[in-house]
Structure 1
Amino acid sequence: MFKRRERRLAESGPYYRQRSWQLSAGFLAVVAVVGGVVTLLSGPDTTAAHASGAATAGPLAGPAAKDGRPRGCRTDDATGAELPKKAPGDVGWRTLGVARVPVSPSAGPTRIQGALWWCYAHTPTGAVIAAHVIPSQMSGSDWRTVTEQQVVPGRGREMFEFQRATVQSTDGRDSGTAVASYAGFSVSSYTGTAATVRLLLKSAQGYAATDISLRWSGGDWKVRPDDNGSLHSPVSAVQSTNGFVLWGV
């Protein structure tokens, strides 16, 4: 049974045609968030009605302040490049779309304006929180605004936008059934300008993990998608939580 589960998690082919994408508007509803059944739409007219909303201006699109951060963004970056050995002591959990995500007054996001949850600490812990929050924002109808301001520009973002436009938005609607949750994380690499965060996911079938790549761009952490448009690496089953910092929820 476990091997069958592993094969299902490590699906092949374009990610937007995989079952995990089809059940999640923007990220990992099958393996990472609570509820939220989203299906591919059958016709172009219906797709346009649900997914073609234009991006709107936001705080990350304007000129930066003198310190290079977006205007109004202030964080405590005193921990520098020290990798986290435990979860932030001030972490709390909030519902975002169809997910429950961690938030921290010290690590971010310290600012929430409409669809944008932004202003993360320029630290490994700030990157960790951003890796949970930003992809989870993609399930709602404001995904274009989030993509424009919190996803690194380039071929990968263009592919993501093209593929995401074929999927219906949820805007917080869910099935009421807990599918999986964020269980922990590890920081695979960190340089100050880039980070790779590995997310640990827990469901009734066990644990799984996926990697999120981020860049420090425009004074905040942004997700860097693969060239194929995927916001995360292929999800794979794991048998042990060793090496992960557990959220304890």
Structure 2
Amino acid sequence: MSSPDFAQRPPWTRPGFIAAAVLLLAVILIGVLVAVFAIANNGRSGAAATSTPTPGSTPADSSTTAPGAPEAVPTAPPADVRWELVGQTAVPVSASSGPSRTGETAAGYAHTPEGALIAAAQISTRAAYSAGRQSWEPTIQQQFEPNADRDRLLAALREAGDTPADPGELSQIAGFSYQSYTPDTAVIGLVFRAPSAGTPRYHVLSLTLLWRDGDWRMMPPPGGSWTSINRMTSDLIGVVEWGAR
């Protein structure tokens, strides 16, 4: 005779029922895991299939330069340059890189590293005291970024008056280096050879140009003083030699 205690227990507490339930639960759990695994694999396969180019398709160009990212710069002088005098200083002119408009100022430069280089040479030379007020005043007013440093530079030049340089006493362009370049901002080390009968001396102006309103414009030197962006050197190591011959 069955034990009264066992006979009165609910069926789901009896050992046989529990074993069957455990087995059924294990089967269900295995089925769920298999389904989840299959879905995950299908998702990965679909992603791989999506990223694999179909025959005849063109893969995305991973070399595309992001906006504002640095670009490759020339390691040789521009090929189509001729040299013209502004006062006593020779400046470059290029049919492909500019300037395309000359008068009180020289403007209209290509939106390229070469265009920025020629703009740096033209604008800095025309903004120099030695170019004369008829050159430096409109150049600084129209082709420099307007700020307090520009106003200080103008004030200093106006105070200095207008004394012409003696022949042979001005530095001439001797080379360049691109310190950085993006389509928006170019920083160019423009190298000048100082007049000297002995050991060659060079000074390097670190010039910053910004692409604004369809042309290159120059940032005025800090404090309105060219000496703030000038350094002296006795060699041309790391510089691309360039200048009038």
Please indicate, yes or no, whether the TM-score normalized by the shorter chain is above 0.5.
Answer: yes
Correspondence 1:164 to 2:157: yes
**Aligned counterpart, 1:120:** 109
Tell me the TM-score normalized by structure 1.
Answer: 0.61
- 1:186-213: CA deviation from partner (whole Å, max 9, x where unpaired): 1101111111110112132422322111
Correspondence 1:136 to 2:125: yes
Alpha carbons of structure 1 residues 161 and 125: separation in structure 2 relative to 1, 3 Å: same
Task: Pick the aligned partner of 2:215 from 195, 217, 220.
Answer: 220
Q: 1:228 aligns to what SS in structure 2?
A: helix
Task: Pick the aligned partner of 2:242 from 208, 223, 247.
Answer: 247
Correspondence 1:88 to 2:78: yes
Shift of 1:84: 1.3
Question: Aligned Cα RMSD in Å?
Answer: 2.1
For the 8 Å contact 1:199–1:210, the answer to whether it is kept is yes
**Aligned counterpart, 1:186:** 177
Q: Is the radius of gyration larger for structure 1 or structure 2?
A: 2
Question: What is the distance in 1 between the residues matched to 2:107 and 2:178?
Answer: 20
Correspondence 1:101 to 2:91: yes
Q: 1:166 aligns to what SS in structure 2?
A: helix
Question: What is the distance in 1 between the residues matched to 2:82 and 2:224?
Answer: 30
Tell me the TM-score normalized by structure 2.
Answer: 0.62
**Aligned counterpart, 2:15:** none
Alpha carbons of structure 1 residues 178 and 236: separation in structure 2 relative to 1, 3 Å: same
**Aligned counterpart, 1:202:** 193
For the 8 Å contact 2:88–2:170, the answer to whether it is kept is no
Alpha carbons of structure 1 residues 178 and 140: separation in structure 2 relative to 1, 3 Å: closer
Question: What is the distance in 2 between the residues matched to 1:130 and 1:179?
Answer: 20
- 1:118-172: CA deviation from partner (whole Å, max 9, x where unpaired): 10111111111111111211232223222221001111111112212112235xx
Correspondence 1:176 to 2:171: no
- 1:32-79: CA deviation from partner (whole Å, max 9, x where unpaired): xxxxxxxxxxxxxxxxxxxxxxxxxxxxxxxxxxxxxxxxxxxxxxxx
Q: Please list every run of 5 or more consecutive structure 2 residues that lacks an aligned counterpart in the other structure.
A: 1-69
For the 8 Å contact 2:110–2:116, the answer to whether it is kept is yes
Q: 2:178 aligns to what SS in structure 1?
A: strand
Specify the code of the residue in structure 2 equivalent to 1:175: D
**Aligned counterpart, 1:154:** 147
Q: Please list every run of 5 or more consecutive structure 1 residues that lacks an aligned counterpart in the other structure.
A: 1-79
Aligned length: 167
Shift of 1:239: 3.3
Flag as ranges the 4+ runs of structure 1 deviating above 4 A. Answer: none
Question: What is the distance in 2 between the residues matched to 1:239 and 1:164?
Answer: 28
More helix by share: 2
- 1:69-117: CA deviation from partner (whole Å, max 9, x where unpaired): xxxxxxxxxxx943111111111110112311111111111221x2111
